[in-house]
């Protein structure tokens, strides 16, 4: 067992973690340094895949927009389950973080008149989305933050390293974390009085997801097992338009901005159907559009529908959406006919580790930011492009919070921490049979997709919980060995159980959580009526 100490430890290297590290390095004197722990390498997480953009409400530039309008749009999309104070706080800070990202070197797209270009996305009442290089916003922001980080002298990076367990003392105060370098097979006890979880989402518990392979819910499971409170675990957002390609573990996203620019959803018979499900048509909230696509695909005995981009114009589309164009080319999709095959896929998680406005969890010294945190911003359904905004705003605010905290690392272990560390000396050095874990992982994904997906029932949720318990028992019975995949599966099972349990408890539909049994859906026609009914409630 190795040992080290740092002033601040950030678990995760997406935009939220990178933003925080850059800010801390500029504003706080950390003699013991700031540590970033990332499971793979920099630039490998979900943030770089974000195409659409980042919400920025700047009325002095974008004169038709307002804070009040953004607040209303966010709460309407979240079905009123949002925390109003948090929504207001985030919206008011959106201009500040946009300017700060620009100061870090992010170059957002501009109009012909050299002014910031604002795009429109689903469920927004005004164009307010800043984007970079067309549809490469996440990649541009993350790359810029990575480059800026190179100028920070007091930031260290542990890559190919996974956080396994929080070191919580007998007073229920977090004092550090046990990490595992899976490439070199060694464990390390990292001591710090300020642990920040920024590990992203849970996408890999489902078969179809836009999330990378590393999104296995590690941070949420880490915090939950340590005793932190989690909430809103039933709210899983499925993006309506992922690129339909069966062979991919991570399904490429076809940004909602394409529909904002005029693309239309059509079924395989060429019928334009979105208007018959919602008065907002193609730009309805994501849960409404996702269910409409699933239902319409069933009517044509298909697994997908098409996004008709002909109204935008092929050449204009290629210029505005270079990333989507490249993805289509990589998957042998010919854009000359103006049709892109799309299907819903797990995209974003609204629940997670409960935090307050300063990103504090229910465990002292433990913070959470980004997708793994449940801040109160999103409610039952995330409004498009509010996610990158949330990452930046809460990282910005957490830097201010940490300026007021004691940053010296803990000096002594208590008995509980010693027992936690000793546990890892018992792990076998045997070579792991990853095929065994892969098989169990596939069983989990199949179970979650079939029973805890876009539509849910009491019977299906109970069935899922039974299967999850069976898989957990098989994992428990297998020899404990050094294996990244085993640790990931354990975390994924923890998150899957929390999602299914929360979905079972909430027996009515709201936002991204859709209980088909309580809406008395019996066939395709009533399915359509039920979607329309939910949409009417949402519009009020």
537, 76 Cβ separation under 8 angstroms: no
What the block records as the tokens of 505 is 């408890």
Helix (H, G, I), strand (E, B) or coil at 513: strand
Q: With 0-12 CB in 10 A as exposed, 13-18 as middle and 19+ as buried, what is 224?
A: buried
Helix (H, G, I), strand (E, B) or coil at 269: coil
Helix (H, G, I), strand (E, B) or coil at 367: strand
Dihedral of the alpha carbons of 530, 531, 537, 539, in degrees to the nearest 10: -160
Cite the DSSP H helix spans in 331-382.
Answer: none
374, 230 Cβ separation under 8 angstroms: yes
Closest to 304 measured CA to CA, from 243, 262, 256, 365: 243
Distances (CA, A) of 227 to 194, 235, 363, 510: 17, 21, 7, 28
DSSP-derived pairing of the beta strands 352-354 and 373-374:
parallel
Dihedral of the alpha carbons of 296, 384, 232, 13, in degrees to the nearest 10: 120
Phi then psi for residue 108, to 5 deg, are -80, 155
Using the Cα atoms of residue 69, residue 70, residue 73 and residue 76 in order, give the sign of their dihedral. negative
Distance CA 59, CA 63 (A): 5
CA 313 to chain centre: 31
Distance CA 174, CA 186 (A): 22
Helix (H, G, I), strand (E, B) or coil at 483: coil
Residue 354, beta-bridge partner list: 374
Distance CA 117, CA 50 (A): 17
Distance CA 139, CA 114 (A): 22
What the block records as the tokens of 268 is 């395989």
286, 237 Cβ separation under 8 angstroms: yes
CA 356 to chain centre: 18
Distance CA 113, CA 474 (A): 62
482, 428 Cβ separation under 8 angstroms: yes
* Residues written for the chain: 540
320 a catalytic residue: no
Distance CA 185, CA 429 (A): 9
Marked catalytic residue, from 286, 291, 484, 486: 286
Strand order in the sheet with 264-266: 236-243, 339-349, 305-308, 264-266
Catalytic residues: 286
């Amino acid at each position: 067992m190795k040992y080290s100490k740092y002033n601040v430890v950030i678990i995760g290297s997406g935009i939220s973690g990178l933003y925080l590290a850059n800010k801390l390095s500029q504003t706080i004197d950390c003699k013991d340094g700031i540590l970033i722990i990332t499971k793979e390498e920099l630039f490998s997480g979900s943030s770089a895949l974000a195409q659409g953009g980042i919400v920025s409400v700047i009325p002095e530039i974008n004169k038709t927009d307002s804070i009040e309008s953004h607040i209303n749009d966010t709460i309407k999309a979240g079905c009123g389950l949002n925390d109003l104070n948090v929504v207001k706080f985030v919206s008011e800070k959106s201009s500040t973080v946009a300017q700060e990202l620009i100061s870090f070197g992010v170059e957002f797209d501009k109009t012909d008149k050299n002014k910031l270009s604002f795009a429109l996305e689903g469920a927004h009442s005004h164009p307010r989305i800043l984007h970079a290089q067309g549809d490469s916003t996440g990649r541009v922001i993350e790359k810029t933050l990575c480059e800026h980080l190179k100028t920070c002298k007091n930031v260290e990076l542990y890559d190919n390293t996974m956080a396994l367990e929080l070191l919580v003392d007998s007073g229920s105060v977090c004092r550090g974390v046990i990490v595992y370098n899976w490439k070199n097979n060694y464990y390390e006890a990292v001591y710090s009085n300020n642990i920040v979880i920024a590990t992203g989402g849970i996408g890999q518990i489902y078969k179809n997801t836009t999330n990378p392979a590393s999104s296995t819910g590690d941070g949420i499971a880490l915090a939950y097992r340590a005793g932190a409170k989690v909430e809103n675990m039933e709210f899983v957002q499925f993006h309506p338009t992922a690129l339909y390609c069966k062979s991919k573990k991570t399904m490429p996203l076809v940004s909602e901005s394409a529909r904002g620019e005029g693309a239309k959803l059509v079924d395989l018979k060429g019928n334009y159907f979105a208007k018959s499900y919602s008065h907002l048509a193609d730009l309805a909230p994501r849960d409404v559009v996702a269910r409409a696509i699933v239902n319409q695909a069933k009517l044509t005995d298909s697994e997908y529908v098409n996004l008709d981009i002909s109204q935008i114009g092929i050449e204009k589309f290629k210029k505005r959406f270079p990333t989507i164009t490249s993805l289509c080319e990589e998957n042998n999709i010919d854009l000359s006919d103006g049709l892109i095959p799309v299907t819903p896929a797990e995209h974003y998680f609204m629940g997670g580790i409960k935090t307050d406005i300063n990103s504090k969890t229910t465990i002292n010294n433990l913070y959470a930011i980004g997708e793994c945190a449940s801040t109160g911003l999103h409610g039952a359904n995330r409004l498009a492009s509010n996610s990158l905004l949330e990452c930046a705003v809460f990282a910005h605010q957490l830097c201010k919070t940490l300026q007021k905290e004691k940053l010296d690392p803990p000096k002594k272990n208590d008995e509980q921490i010693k027992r936690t560390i000793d546990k890892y000396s018992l792990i076998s050095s045997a070579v792991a049979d990853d095929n065994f874990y892969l098989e169990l992982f596939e069983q989990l994904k199949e179970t979650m997709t079939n029973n805890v997906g876009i539509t849910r029932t009491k019977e299906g949720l109970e069935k899922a919980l039974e299967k999850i318990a069976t898989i957990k028992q098989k994992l428990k019975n297998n020899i404990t060995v050094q294996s990244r995949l085993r640790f990931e599966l354990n975390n994924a099972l923890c998150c899957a159980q929390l999602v299914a349990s929360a979905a079972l408890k909430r027996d009515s539909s709201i936002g991204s959580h859709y209980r088909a049994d309580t809406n008395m859906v019996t066939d395709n026609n009533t399915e359509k009526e039920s979607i329309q009914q939910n949409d009417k409630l949402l519009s009020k």
